[in-house]
Amino acid sequence: MNCPRCNTELRSENYKGIEVDRCPQCQGMWLDYGELDQLEDIVLDKDEIKGTMIFSSFQGKLPCPKCGAAMQRFNYRAYDLELDFCERGHGTWLDAGEEKGVLELMGQRIKDLKRKGKAEAEWGNFLRKLRSPSFFDKVKGLFRR
Three-state secondary structure readout of the chain: CECCCCCCECEEEEECCEEEEECCCCCCEEEECCHHHHHHHCCCCCHHHCCCCCCCEEEEEEECCCCCCEEEEEEHHHCCCEEEECCCCCEEEECCCHHHHHHHHHHHHHHHHHHHHHHHHHHHHHHHHHHCHHHHHHHHHHHHC
Q: What does pTM read for this prediction?
A: 0.77
Other beta carbons within 10 Å of 131: 8
Across residues 22-46, what is the average pLDDT? Answer: 95
Pairwise pLDDT comparison (37 vs 136), residue with the higher score:
37
pLDDT in tens, 76-123: 998 899 999 999 999 999 999 999 999 999 888 888 777 777 777 788
Task: Using the predicted structure, report yes or no on whether residue 145 has a pLDDT greater than 70.
Answer: no
Give the pLDDT confidence score for residue 123 in this predicted structure: 81
Band of residue 132 on the pLDDT scale cut at 50, 70, 90:
low
